[in-house]
């Protein structure tokens, strides 16, 4: 009887059969931001994986744990309380449904704009505390994002150090913040299958900075299409190259395909800062990186790319549409 109920609860999600337990990869690049070789390692990691882990990131553990505890409090409220935050169209609380085109996952989440005041009065029991924790965390993570983007510019030998970072610093920067909660799903262990928490995709923005608790689940796809599990590390940040950065580097950096599998034993909580350009910004290869070569991409603004993104399915190859043949 119990199994039947549980099956009902998860049948609408896509199961994928992979080997359990997943093997953790030891090949994920680690960049120590306090070391002089950081810029070289970042460029190498962005070319090979579009993904790396950052230590000595400068975000105070205090800011991280404060936001984490506010998020845990929020997600532990009854559904009707959480729904008071409003539906995620595009900013608010969402459960199971991702985007507007039929994607679902074993996840609930909060989506927010980073440079716009939200009506926080509906966020949990102490909205002011939540708002402070969020603002504090976001400004610290944006600072790290800019440091990393400046190291990238240096590593790519671009004269203008702030070519990328200025887009995140712009007051019209279209950056997003997301908190994902993947509840533990105990029947998975019984069935010996995996359940998709967040389906495979690439991030459309420039750069994404992810921090999670110590629960596994994140996987990245390698160039050969194989998936590797990222060992969780609650003290570090994981950085993704987004589609826009792939375009700005004319394909030299790769936006990484990634996904999250639900965990049978522990809940996973992740918070991600998606650094995006202003809507009116042209997303195009930097002239100094073309070296006489043609752009691999058609011209588009972030507004145009974002529009096409929101009309797509999670797993779609969104850049394909903008490639020059």
Stretch that binds ligand GA4, among 7-15, 213-221, 287-295, 306-314 (CB under 6 A): 306-314
What is the rounded distance in angstroms from the CA atom of residue 134 to the CA atom of residue 140? 10
Tell me whether residue 92 or residue 232 sits nearer to ligand GA4 (CB atom): 92
Cβ atoms within 10 Å, residue 41 = 17
Residues near 274 by beta carbon (within 8 Å), at least 6 away in sequence: 175, 176, 177, 178, 203, 205, 207, 208, 242
Q: Which of 101, 119, 160, 214 binds ligand GA4 (CB under 6 A)?
A: 101
Segment (H or E) for 218: strand 218-221
User: Which residue is catalytic, options 268, 313, 318, 324?
Assistant: 268
274 counts as binding ligand GA4 under rule CB under 6 A: yes
Closest residue to ligand GA4: CB criterion: 99
- Member of 201, 211, 254, 258 binding ligand GA4 (CB under 6 A): 201
**Which residue from 50, 92, 99, 217 is in contact with ligand GA4, where contact means CB under 6 A?**
99
Candidates 103, 174, 243, 281; binder of ligand GA4 (CB under 6 A) is 103
Site for ligand GA4 in 213-232 (CB under 6 A): none
β-pair type (258-261, 237-241): unpaired
Distances in Å between the Cα of 299 and the Cα atoms of 162, 219, 281, 319, 322 are 22, 31, 11, 12, 8
Is residue 309 a contact point for ligand GA4 (CB under 6 A)?
A: yes
Residue 93 interacting with ligand GA4 (CB under 6 A): no
Q: Is there binding between residue 301 and ligand GA4 (CB under 6 A)? A: no
- Catalytic site includes residue 211: no
Q: Cβ closer to ligand GA4: 178 or 181?
A: 178
Q: Is residue 111 classed as helix, strand or coil in its secondary structure?
A: strand
SS3 92: strand
Task: Identify which range of 66-74, 155-163, 197-205, 280-288 contacts ligand GA4 by CB under 6 A.
Answer: 197-205
**What is the largest distance, in Å, between two alpha-carbon atoms of the chain?**
67
User: b/e string for 92-117 if b means 16 or more Cβ within 10 A?
Assistant: bbbbebbbeeebbbbbbbbbbebeee
Instruction: With beta carbons less than 8 A apart as the criterion, state whether 140 and 57 touch.
Output: no
What length is written for the chain?
Answer: 325
314 lies in the site for ligand GA4, by CB under 6 A = yes
Task: Tell me whether residue 98 or residue 289 sits nearer to ligand GA4 (CB atom).
Answer: 98
Asked whether position 176 contacts ligand GA4 by CB under 6 A, the answer is: yes
- Segment 142 to 171, residues that bind ligand GA4, using CB under 6 A: none
CB of residue 306 to ligand GA4, shortest distance in Å: 7
Least distance from ligand GA4 to the Cβ atom of residue 292, Å: 33
Contact call for residue 268 and ligand GA4 (CB under 6 A): no
Interface with ligand GA4, residue 95, by CB under 6 A: no
User: Least Å distance between CB 182 and ligand GA4?
Assistant: 14
Q: Are 274 and 179 spatial neighbours (Cβ–Cβ below 8 Å)?
A: no
Alpha helices in the chain (DSSP H): 2-10, 38-48, 61-75, 79-82, 127-155, 165-169, 187-191, 243-248, 287-290, 302-310
Select from 64-72, 97-105, 224-232, 243-251 the region that touches ligand GA4 (CB under 6 A): 97-105
Tokens 């009887």 label which residue?
1
**Is the CB of 141 or the CB of 314 nearer to ligand GA4?**
314
Q: Using CA of residue 220, residue 46, residue 113, residue 236, what is the dihedral sign?
A: positive
Residues 6+ apart with CB under 8 A from 312: 101, 318
114 contributes a contact to ligand GA4 by CB under 6 A: no
Active-site positions read 268
Q: Which residues bind ligand GA4 (CB under 6 A)?
A: 90, 98-99, 101, 103, 176, 178, 201, 203-204, 274, 309-310, 312-314
């Amino acid at each position: 009887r119990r199994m039947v109920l549980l099956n009902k609860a998860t049948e609408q999600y896509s199961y994928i059969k992979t080997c359990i337990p997943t093997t953790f990869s030891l090949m994920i690049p680690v960049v120590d931001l306090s070391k002089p070789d950081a810029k070289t390692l970042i460029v190498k990691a962005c070319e090979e994986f579009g993904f790396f882990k950052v230590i000595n990131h400068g975000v105070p553990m205090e800011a991280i744990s404060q936001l984490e505890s506010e998020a845990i409090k929020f997600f532990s409220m009854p559904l009707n309380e959480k729904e008071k935050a409003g539906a995620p169209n595009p900013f608010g609380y969402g459960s199971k449904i991702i985007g507007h085109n039929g994607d679902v996952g074993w996840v609930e989440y909060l989506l927010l704009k980073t440079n716009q005041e939200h009506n926080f009065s509906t966020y949990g029991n102490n909205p002011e505390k939540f708002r402070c924790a969020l603002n504090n965390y976001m400004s610290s993570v944006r600072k790290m994002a800019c440091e990393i983007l400046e190291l990238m510019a240096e590593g790519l030998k671009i004269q203008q150090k702030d070519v990328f970072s200025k887009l995140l610093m712009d007051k019209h920067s279209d950056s997003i913040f997301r908190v994902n909660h993947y509840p533990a799903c105990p029947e998975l262990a019984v069935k010996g299958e995996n359940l998709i928490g967040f389906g495979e995709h690439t991030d459309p923005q420039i750069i994404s900075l992810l921090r999670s608790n110590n629960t596994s689940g994140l996987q990245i796809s390698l160039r050969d299409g194989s998936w590797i599990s990222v060992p969780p590390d609650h003290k570090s940040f994981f950085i993704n190259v987004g589609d826009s950065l792939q375009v700005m580097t004319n394909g030299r950096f790769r936006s990484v395909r990634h996904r999250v599998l639900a965990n049978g034993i522990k809940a996973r909580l992740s918070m991600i800062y998606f650094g995006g350009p202003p809507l009116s910004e042209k997303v195009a290869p930097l002239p100094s990186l073309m070296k006489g070569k043609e752009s691999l991409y058609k011209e588009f603004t972030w507004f145009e790319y974002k529009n096409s993104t929101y009309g797509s399915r999670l797993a779609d190859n969104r850049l394909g549409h903008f490639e020059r043949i």
